[in-house]
Amino acid sequence: MSRKTERMRKNNSADGMPRYLRVLGNLKYRLIVEGIGVGLLAGILVSAFRLSLTKVDEIRNVLLEGAQTKISLIVWCVLLLFFFTVCVSFVVTREPLCTGSGIPQVKGELEGKIKANWLGVIIAKFFGGIMAVGGGLSLGREGPSIQLGAMVGKGFSRLSGRLRKEERLLITCGAGAGLAAAFSAPLAGVVFTLEELHKTFTAEVLLSTMASAITADWVASYIFGLRPVFSLTISNSLPLSHYWMVLILGVIMGAFGVLYNKCISLSQDFFGMLKPVWLKAVLPFIAIVVLAVFYPKALGSGHDLVAFAGEGGTGVKVLIVLLAIKFVFSIFSFGTGAPGGIFLPLLVLGAVTGGLFTEIVSPLVGYTNTYSAYFVILGMAGYFAAIVRAPITGIILISEMTGIFSNLLPLAIVSLVAHITAEIMGGVPIYDQLLDRMMYVKRKNE
């Protein structure tokens, strides 16, 4: 071995590890800066998506109210709905990866199972989601927002020529930013990426996603203000002697969550077997028209139903009917494959179940409607934990969405019990279930 070669080997051995550590250190700080950039872009895009959904919902409600007295408006409502249906069908056909929630696609992207056209998905998901949710389907904005944010991260990576490892982190940053902007919940956006997407904890993921989520939330707060998403007020805390009610609610929500996931699978099976394919568009169209006439309260994501359930005194029969119709319509809506998420609909179902639980149990223990909002919040947390199987995300998300952080103990209890109940009953986390189905269909078509 020559002296020059030996000297180079010694230098590399001596300096290799410090140089590697310096590269890692630079990557960590560079990712924070890039996370801020991704968060800014994702925050603007998702806020525009959220604002568009709000406006379309308002227009739909005005048209439905006016259609009760003017026949001409009925015709316009039907024509607009038919236009939305045709457009959603076209978008889904042209860009299959924009279907459904979008979170399974993000998980598949991070695992290397899916390679999406980031620009095509952004365009299709943005407009398809507005028309699907705005048209009246019981779908949410969070899944599309997470996928939109993730694709912003991927686009940022591709346009700046980043390596695969860095691209995965930027996709994660975008996903966290999307959830943060969708619900004004930056902490939930960070925890969701750790608990559900990466299922691991590293400084690179934590710091870059935190920078991205905070930036996106700042953008959303500038547009929508600092008010929490749900307007609920809790005047009294449940006495510790009655925490057995929290345990019972946790078991109920765990079992209900398993039922929800199985019904989602059955709905997807049903729509997957439909021949001809155009029936996938016609059936939702008919369902929306029927509900618009007989039960318009069930249309859309159902955001206002959370406050409705939290008011108390609604009555057992009213809540049972609302829960049954909303449950069936939510399952039906997601099975169609239209662009839209399940976060918000499942939170609404959890809220209504919590309100129903209060109406049934309160008279037995001598309470009035004092704890309606209390159990509405617990119902949302328990249902989220049972379906998504991400209890920490659920606790933080619901605390941020309600602006109430004084009930972490009962939230943790109901989430843990619901999670364990769903595990014992053999339920599969919804996004793992959806990703497995997506991969099965992909292999089948290849």
Q: Is the pLDDT of residue 23 over 60?
A: no
149 and 184 in contact (C-beta within 8 Å)? no
Whether 210 has a pLDDT exceeding 90, the answer reads yes
> Are residues 164 and 263 located together in one domain of the fold?
no
Region 34-39: mean pLDDT is 94
Nearest to 149 by CA among 42, 32, 51: 42
User: Residue 6 pLDDT more than 80?
Assistant: no
Cα–Cα distance, 435 to 429 (Å, whole number): 10
Domain-located, residue 89: yes
Residue 8 lies in a domain: no
Tell me which DSSP letter residue 193 carries: I
**Domain check: are 174 and 305 in the same one?**
no
Q: What is the pLDDT of residue 4?
A: 46
Are 198 and 53 part of one and the same domain?
yes
Would the pLDDT of 265 be above 60? Answer: yes
What span, in angstroms and rounded, lies between the C-alpha atoms of 254 and 179? 24
The predicted structure's pLDDT at residue 304? 86
How distant, in Å, are the alpha carbons of 150, 282, 283, 289, 367 from that of 286?
Answer: 33, 6, 5, 5, 42
| pLDDT of res. 368 | 63
pLDDT value for 25: 54
Number of independent structural domains in the chain: 2
Which residue carries 């230098």 as its tokens? 11
52-98 pLDDT, tens digit each: 998 988 888 888 777 777 777 778 888 888 888 888 888 888 898 99
pLDDT of 21 > 70? The answer is: no
Domain that holds residue 39: 19-224
134 inside domain = yes
Domain with residue 366: its CATH number is 1.10.3080.10
* Co-location of 215 and 251 in the same domain: no
The domain boundary, picked from 224, 249, 268, lies at 224
Report CA Rg, the chain: 23
Question: Each residue of 347-379: pLDDT tens digit?
Answer: 999 999 999 998 888 878 777 667 888 899 999
pTM for this prediction: 0.89
Q: Kindly state whether residues 280 and 180 are assigned to the same domain.
A: no
Other beta carbons less than 10 A from residue 308's beta carbon: 18
% pLDDT > 90, the chain: 47
Q: Kindly state whether residues 311 and 285 are assigned to the same domain.
A: yes
Q: Are residues 183 and 300 in the same domain?
A: no
Helices (H), 225-366: 244-273, 279-294, 304-311, 316-335, 343-365
Tell me if 192 is assigned to some domain: yes
Select the more confidently predicted residue: 2 or 169: 169
Q: What is the structure's pLDDT at 8?
A: 43
Query: What are the C-alpha distances in Å from 441 to residues 279, 372, 417, 428?
Result: 19, 43, 34, 18
What pLDDT score was predicted for residue 205? 86
Map tokens 């750790």 to a residue: 194
Distances (CA, A) of 345 to 59, 204, 318: 20, 32, 18
Are both 212 and 301 inside the same structural domain? no
In this structure, the answer to whether residues 297 and 170 fall within a common structural domain is no
Segment 101-108 shows an average pLDDT of: 92
Write the pLDDT tens digit of every residue in 161-186.
887 888 999 999 999 999 999 999 99
Residues 329 and 420 in one domain: yes
The pLDDT value recorded for residue 3 is 52
204 or 261, which is more confident? 261
Is 10 inside a domain boundary? Answer: no
pLDDT of the residue at 329: 93
Residue-averaged pLDDT of the chain: 86
13 Cβ contact partners less than 8 Å away, ≥ 6 residues apart? none
Token pair in block for residue 79: 């024509």
Q: Identify whether 36 is part of a domain.
A: yes
pLDDT number for residue 241: 82
Same domain, 282 and 337: yes
Which of 347, 351, 341, 350 lies closest to 311 in space, CA to CA? 351
**pLDDT number for residue 260:** 96
Report which of residues 150 and 13 the model is more confident about: 150
Who wins on pLDDT, 62 or 409?
409
Give the burial string for 228-251 (b: 16+ CB within 10 Å, else e): bbbebebeeebeeeeeebbeebbb
Say what the pLDDT of residue 310 is: 82
In this structure, is residue 430 part of a structural domain?
A: yes
What SS3 class is residue 385? helix
User: Is residue 91 located within the same domain as residue 193?
Assistant: yes
- How high is the pLDDT of residue 446? 64
**Residue of 446 and 269 predicted with greater confidence:** 269
The confidence score (pLDDT) of residue 324 equals 95
Q: Is 390 exposed, middle or buried (0-12, 13-18, 19+ CB in 10 A)?
A: buried
Q: Considering 164, 197, 224, which residue would you say is the last residue of a domain?
A: 224
Report how many helices (DSSP H) and strands (DSSP E) the chain contains, helices first.
17, 0
Tell me: pLDDT of 438 over 80.
yes
409 in a domain, yes or no?
Answer: yes
User: Poorest-confidence range of 180-189, 214-223, 246-255, 308-317?
Assistant: 308-317
Q: Which of 224, 253, 281 is the last residue of a domain?
A: 224
261: amino acid identity, one letter: N
